[in-house]
Structure 1
């Protein structure tokens, strides 16, 4: 099964990106509505019970399809036999994951001293199996650039999950509604994926191609390493600094990184299959990757810089005066996140170029340096953890990642560092100018202060972008292509 490059590559990319980001917006709205609706129908204990099982299910879920779904998307040619092998391996691993989670149910209930946890754990295992059965159909949809169908699937399954949870909660099922919702969502996603993909598996065959298995195993290894480092900060802060400090840290982390994740995830869904189709055309691959990331940096980095600069005002506006300790944590995480919108897209390079082994090695190094930073910063509480994470990122991780990107190619270290360096420089100038603004202006209202910071950062960022030939060319080419493809 060959995945040829679409004749109108630019139009497919643009429309795919718009549709996917639009669907992500709907999903965010559904999630927000879910928080409001279920909070009115359930009690805090219900959420706490289900949340206690969440990390365990999430960890086991990383093994759900061994990275084979992404392998289906990435490969230029894949036979029906290979698809069949991937399906049965994914199904077997999904079944195994569900069995492992279910088997842990008694131990989890004993650990928490609450027998209700046993039923919750058993119910939480079902979406793992359903998700593994949907892996190949969803991968085929992504491979064939069916972004509209994928987006519709996402929105419908999310809405169905919310509706099911709300009905169950209204019926008085309590915490079970939070188990039923994800299960219904996974079932709807599975049914929709099979309906659209129109692919039928053959008899069971577990002899997976060694290249595909290696690709998926390395990608899974990266995800495991990343999961470890992404969650250890919460564990350390909760253990040594207490629940209050962790609460402040959690709010800052989610406030800052949630929007970033909801930009990068839909872009990844679009860019990985598209870049995989042209991975042999090094010049074109580099051009499209660099142009996309110039625009991504232009949209995200000035905004993050502005929010970091006005962290006190942002926290006051959104959370109220009682959450003031969140502000310095938010500021340090903002400094750390300034480069993450671009850095996180290096996964496109590793995946599309088939270099998941390098990606796995990077994941190990990144996780070790991140964990070391957490331990060092822990002495100063949540603020120290955030500060150490930010500083170690610029000193230990960004330079190494630039070298790895250059080594894999075709994107160079200069490409990677220039995109980030330009907007770091523009942000520093914007911060300096903001501090020179009269207090009568910035102190008039929190909302005005945030607006001024945003205007300065985006304005100066645009000036810097127009002043540098590479970024100016990327901006004008992107705008020209967008105008032509919209017509």
Structure 2
């Protein structure tokens, strides 16, 4: 298979898979949201938070270490892979044991059963870390793209079938299990890996110094990202968590499917220039501007069309999630750009500075979440969570631009002024459009989409920012 080395080409391949996947994802979640209740989603959200935490210990930064280190041989990688199998088994057993106290904490025995089921998903995700990292290192983005689509089709098909059969939250759990197993099976067949019953620890030591700070950062980031779900489920309730979690995941759609089409290819490609900071900055800033420009549109549209989006995608039983979507949408612009920071930190091999940035902003995120929980209202919680993401943006880019890349912060923020003007103008237009009384939800969504989209395009040309988006188009198509 031909190796892909261009960021643009790799991004387009990854984007094709992501955007095909998002269609299936939206369709599947729309169907599931009409079959399952907010309580079902709330129950699974609680267990998923804990399984995600255990998954951090399955990787401990080894995947990114394999991508970054260019001196590892095949035997080293097989040793590291063998280590993750033992680690995955240990974490699987430990998670099953921990499921019982989790069920006692939330006062529902179903969490133990769900924990046992999700332990299999945890195991396959753990042992998939190295095969997936190896595919990224070899820049086999076509394989990853095809796998993403096929796995999504099959796993969501299973989930919908089980939901129709009345399996409730187990349908969501089995979607996770099937997805994890198929992704691992596909990746393992795509790479050359051997399993050693007795692995050589020296292979792990080669990337441990780099990986340990990545792992420490991920642990910090976990609490900043998941404490809201943990505390909401305990102190506000499963139904409230279902609404909040649905709104949060909806907010992540533009972040995930626009940003993550780019970020997975940044680390393996930019790591080739890890000793050329100026080159990395020049390449990255163009990607940053694209994400920033796209983020402005989705932040404004999701804020003013939150009601239409929820009703169209999930139905009227999810109306209580609308205020949360509106509040969280404010942070989309900031999250879309900041999500790309991680890849640049990793490509520079400066996981320590990234960790230091987390030490500062994660406590601020936690304070914001605790305030929202104390108030006891998921809309207020959503507002504080959105504010915490804005704070994260400021802190993380200070460390990346100033401390790592040694570039001017003044110039960096000055380059964001066109986006700010676009947000202000689009918001004014959307406030005026909102006064139009339209009863049909789809027509209302289309009117708001057209008004926001046309204003956005006009502002792109007036500010001259269209050239950044135009750079994504192949040169032969620009003529």
Measured against the shorter chain, the TM-score band is 0.7 to 0.9
Is 1:401 equivalent to 2:400 in the alignment?
no
Matched with 1:385 is 381
Q: Are the counterparts in 2 of residues 215 and 354 from structure 1 also a CA contact under 8 Å? A: yes
Q: Are the counterparts in 2 of residues 291 and 478 from structure 1 also a CA contact under 8 Å? A: no
Q: Are the counterparts in 1 of residues 38 and 318 from structure 2 also a CA contact under 8 Å? A: no
Matched with 1:452 is 451
Q: Are the counterparts in 2 of residues 314 and 446 from structure 1 also a CA contact under 8 Å? A: no
1:402, CA displacement in angstroms? 2.7
Residue of structure 1 aligned with 2:201, choices 168, 182, 206: 206
Structure-2 change in CA distance of 1:132 and 1:253 (3 Å): closer
Matched with 1:259 is 254
Q: Are the counterparts in 2 of residues 166 and 177 from structure 1 also a CA contact under 8 Å? A: yes
Structure-2 change in CA distance of 1:41 and 1:346 (3 Å): closer
Residue of structure 2 aligned with 1:223, choices 218, 235, 242: 218
Deviating more after overlay: 210-219 vs 109-118: 109-118
Give the match's secondary structure for 2:331: helix
Structure-2 change in CA distance of 1:404 and 1:175 (3 Å): closer
Is 1:359 equivalent to 2:357 in the alignment?
no
| Structure 1 segment 65-80 matched on structure 2, within 5 A | 65-80=59-74
Matched with 1:299 is 294
1:307 & 1:42 partners in 2: Cα distance? 24
Give the match's secondary structure for 1:104: helix
Residue of structure 1 aligned with 2:101, choices 84, 89, 107: 107
1:142, CA displacement in angstroms? 0.8
Deviating more after overlay: 360-369 vs 277-286: 277-286
Residue of structure 2 aligned with 1:290, choices 285, 290, 293: 285
2:277 & 2:456 partners in 1: Cα distance? 33
Matched with 1:423 is 419
1:289 & 1:279 partners in 2: Cα distance? 13
| Structure 1 segment 341-360 matched on structure 2, within 5 A | 341-360=336-355
2:204 & 2:116 partners in 1: Cα distance? 33
1:400 & 1:364 partners in 2: Cα distance? 10
Structure 1, unmatched stretches of 5+, are none
TM-score, length basis structure 1: 0.82
Q: For residues 194-234 of structure 1, what are the alpha-carbon distances to aligned partners after superposition, in whole Å with 9 as ceiling and x for unaligned?
A: 22112334551123454611322222222222221222233
Matched with 1:90 is 84
Matched with 2:366 is 371
Q: Are the counterparts in 2 of residues 313 and 450 from structure 1 also a CA contact under 8 Å? A: no
1:244, CA displacement in angstroms? 6.1
1:248 & 1:114 partners in 2: Cα distance? 19
Structure-2 change in CA distance of 1:200 and 1:453 (3 Å): same
Q: For residues 250-306 of structure 1, what are the alpha-carbon distances to aligned partners after superposition, in whole Å with 9 as ceiling and x for unaligned?
A: 343232222211222232211111111122233322221111121222223223223
Structure-2 change in CA distance of 1:415 and 1:253 (3 Å): farther
Q: Are the counterparts in 1 of residues 46 and 230 from structure 2 also a CA contact under 8 Å? A: no
1:369, CA displacement in angstroms? 0.8
1:433 & 1:410 partners in 2: Cα distance? 39
TM-score, length basis structure 2: 0.84
1:119, CA displacement in angstroms? 4.0
Residue of structure 1 aligned with 2:55, choices 55, 61, 65: 61
Structure-2 change in CA distance of 1:18 and 1:439 (3 Å): same
Give the match's secondary structure for 1:78: coil
1:40 & 1:289 partners in 2: Cα distance? 41
Count, aligned residues: 472
| Alignment RMSD (CA, Å) | 3.7
Structure-2 change in CA distance of 1:252 and 1:134 (3 Å): closer
Give the match's secondary structure for 1:186: helix
Matched with 1:463 is 462
Is 1:192 equivalent to 2:190 in the alignment?
no
1:54, CA displacement in angstroms? 2.2
Structure 2, unmatched stretches of 5+, are none
Matched with 2:17 is 23
Structure-2 change in CA distance of 1:324 and 1:418 (3 Å): farther
Q: For residues 349-405 of structure 1, what are the alpha-carbon distances to aligned partners after superposition, in whole Å with 9 as ceiling and x for unaligned?
A: 1111011122122223221111222334553833333333444554x4433323211
Q: Are the counterparts in 2 of residues 342 and 420 from structure 1 also a CA contact under 8 Å? A: no
Q: For residues 45-66 of structure 1, what are the alpha-carbon distances to aligned partners after superposition, in whole Å with 9 as ceiling and x for unaligned?
A: 8766655532221211121121
